[in-house]
């Protein structure tokens, strides 16, 4: 067991899907995995292990924001020997060519967080996805007929959901950044620190610039698409 995860040494698979919302972890375990068992309830941050197409897979809630994400991902890597983490989440689009319900595969993650300025003595660091996971996820999206609505590129992980100004979104969008969320820069940083593989697969829940939003039904269908892409990635990447 570790400080925030109350699991035994072999309870967690070497590949873990991480939604922000622990109830999403429960939903994934109940609807997509076979023989799923609950290994963590500490702070209500559910973690489950089951199988998908015969492969052992875990799904662990991360909470919102880089600090929470870093707690769970670091413990998974250091104490449970996890080798691949796939974040599954939502983001707000900032680039006009990205539409709500589209899929974004985060190739790199800019951030308003100071984690890397702290880690690198004031200099910058470019948190980057693992290429083999990125390639497997893109292929899984193409195989599902989703190539027209799948975007691969940089994203922005902010520290604040409400706090930053519009001009910042527009500035990042003008540099080709596709969407905004709050965790991936933490994931890619910790993955590079420990030499494991990581990828963020995001569905676009709202468009920050155009104001377009999704209905609950639409979110459910896009969530299913994202899950199938994430699980295919988990079992197909080397
Ligand atoms: N900002 C940050 N995270 C998000 C957003 C957003 O607009 N939409 C979905 N996740």
Q: For 97-107, what is each residue's pLDDT tens digit? A: 999 999 999 99
Q: How many CB atoms lie within 10 A of CB 118?
A: 9
Ligand 1 centroid–CA 119 distance in Å is 25
Q: How many CB atoms lie within 10 A of CB 28?
A: 25
Active site residues: 206
Q: How confident is the model at residue 10 (pLDDT cuts 50, 70, 90)?
A: very high
| Chain segment 179-228, per-residue pLDDT in tens | 999 999 999 999 999 999 999 999 999 999 999 888 878 777 888 999 99
Answer yes or no: is the C-beta of 203 below 6 A from any ligand 1 atom.
no
| Chain segment 70-95, per-residue pLDDT in tens | 999 999 999 999 999 999 999 999 99
Six-digit token pair at 16?
């873990």
Question: Where in the chain are the domains?
Answer: 15-236
The C-alpha angle with vertex 26 and arms to 20 and 32, in degrees rounded to 5, equals 105
Q: Domain 15-236 carries which CATH code?
A: 3.40.50.1580
Answer yes or no: is the C-beta of 175 below 6 A from any ligand 1 atom.
no
Ligand 1 centroid–CA 104 distance in Å is 13
Q: What is the pTM of this model?
A: 0.96
Helix 66-80 × helix 184-194 angle, to 10°: 30
Q: What is the full DSSP assignment across 83-136?
A: -EEEEEEEEEE-STT--TT-EEEEEEEEESSSHHHHHTTT-----B--HHHHHH
Ligand 1 centroid–CA 234 distance in Å is 25
| Residue of 63, 66, 90 best suited for mutating to test ligand 1, as the one with most atoms within 8 Å of CB | 90
Answer yes or no: is the C-beta of 181 below 6 A from any ligand 1 atom.
yes
- Atom index in ligand 1 nearest the CA of residue 208 equals 7
Answer yes or no: is the C-beta of 14 below 6 A from any ligand 1 atom.
no
């Amino acid at each position: 067991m570790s400080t925030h995860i109350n699991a035994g040494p072999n309870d967690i698979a070497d590949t873990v899907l991480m939604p922000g919302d622990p109830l999403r972890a429960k939903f994934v375990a109940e609807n997509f995995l076979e023989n799923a068992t609950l290994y963590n309830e500490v702070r209500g941050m559910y973690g489950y292990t089951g199988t998908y197409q015969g492969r052992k897979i875990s799904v662990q809630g991360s909470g919102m924001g880089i600090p929470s994400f870093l707690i769970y991902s670091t413990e998974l890597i250091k104490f449970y020997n996890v080798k691949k983490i796939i974040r599954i989440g939502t983001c707000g689009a900032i680039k006009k060519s990205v539409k709500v319900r589209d899929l974004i595969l985060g190739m790199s993650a800019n951030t308003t967080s100071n984690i890397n300025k702290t880690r690198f003595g004031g200099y910058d660091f470019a948190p980057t996805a693992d290429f083999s996971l990125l390639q497997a996820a893109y292929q899984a999206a193409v195989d599902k007929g989703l190539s027209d609505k799948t975007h691969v590129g940089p994203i922005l992980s902010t520290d604040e959901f409400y706090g930053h100004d519009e001009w910042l979104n527009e500035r990042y969008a003008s540099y080709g950044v596709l969407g905004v969320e709050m965790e991936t820069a933490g994931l890619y940083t910790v993955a590079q620190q420990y030499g494991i593989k990581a990828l963020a697969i995001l569905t676009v829940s709202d468009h920050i610039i155009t104001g377009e939003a999704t209905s609950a039904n639409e979110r459910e269908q896009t969530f299913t698409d994202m899950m199938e892409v994430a699980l295919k990635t988990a079992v197909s990447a080397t």
